[in-house]
Amino acid sequence: MNQTNNDTRPAPVMGMQRPIPSVYAEGASQIRLGMPISRVMLYSAADRPTDPTLPDTHTLAVELIMPTPALAEMCINILHTIHLARPQLDEGLPRWLEAVDAVFNRMGAMTNSDPNGVQVFPNTKEESVGS
């Protein structure tokens, strides 16, 4: 936790274990708040059926277990960081979209869509990556 007004100790020094585990998650499937600890289960999408009447299939990516006060402080810090980074996020979105458009243009993507809203790509000659 960060230093509080009532805490005279300096902020802790962060030690790093190697390798640092990285887990990709698309969202939280369950949040169980309790005292003294809480659990947050994060998922990744395993399957997205093309039929919109069928549900997505999620796969549990990781379960985060931590003291509830530390979880609340982490949420506040994340939201504060997003707030501070908002100008960079807003600035970066158009560049990201331009990069995606450039990839589609290089693939020869057509701007037409079929009636189901699926992007149509013409048959192109097979080329090696980077040519």
Residue 68 burial by CB count (10 A; 0-12/13-18/19+): exposed, middle or buried? middle
Query: Between the CA of residue 22 and those of 18, 36, 103, what are the distances in Å?
Result: 11, 26, 27
Task: State the Cα–Cα distance between residues 22 and 70, nearest whole angstrom.
Answer: 20
The confidence score (pLDDT) of residue 53 equals 93
The confidence score (pLDDT) of residue 15 equals 82
> What residue ranges do the domains of the chain occupy?
67-108
The confidence score (pLDDT) of residue 128 equals 37
The confidence score (pLDDT) of residue 112 equals 47
The confidence score (pLDDT) of residue 6 equals 59
In this structure, are residues 17 and 39 in contact, taking their beta carbons and an 8 Å threshold?
A: no
19-28 contacts: CB < 8 A, separation 24 or more? Answer: 23/61, 23/62, 24/61, 25/61, 25/62
The confidence score (pLDDT) of residue 108 equals 67
In the predicted model, residues of the chain with pLDDT beneath 70 are 1-7, 107-131
**How wide is the angle at C-alpha 100 spanned by C-alphas 97 and 104, nearest 5°?**
135
Take residue 93 and report the two structure tokens written for it.
């979105």
